[in-house]
Amino acid sequence: MLKWSVILLVIALIAGIFGFFNLVAAAAGIAKILFYIFLVLFVISLFTGRRGRSM
C-alpha cells in the first residue's frame, strides 16, 4: 500500500510540473488517503503483531 501512495505522489509531482491542476489534486488526494490507511494498518500491526514464544 505504501508503494501505491509513493507512485501517486510521483504522479502528482510530475503532473504539477506539467500544470495539470485537476490531476494533481486527484493524485494527491488519493496518495493522502492511502498514506493514512497505511499508517492506521501499521499502528494496528504494531499492537497485534506476532510475539515471541514464552516458555
Decide if 42 is inside a domain: yes
Decide if 22 is inside a domain: yes
Decide if 52 is inside a domain: no
Q: Are 54 and 17 in contact (CB under 8 A)?
A: no
Q: Which domain holds residue 7?
A: 2-47
Angle at 15 between CA 19 and CA 36, to 5 degrees: 125
pLDDT in tens, the chain (55 residues): 678 888 888 887 787 777 766 777 787 888 888 889 888 988 888 888 766 555 5
Which residue type, as a one-letter code, is found at position 22? N
Which residue type, as a one-letter code, is found at position 33? I
Decide if 8 is inside a domain: yes
- Looking at the 3D structure of the chain, how many domains does it have? 1
Cα–Cα distance measured from residue 31 to residue 2, given in angstroms and rounded to the nearest whole number:
9
pLDDT of residue 53: 59
Closest CA to 12 of 27, 34, 33: 27
Decide if 28 is inside a domain: yes
Decide if 54 is inside a domain: no
Q: Is the pTM of this model over 0.85?
A: no
Q: Are 27 and 15 in contact (CB under 8 A)?
A: yes
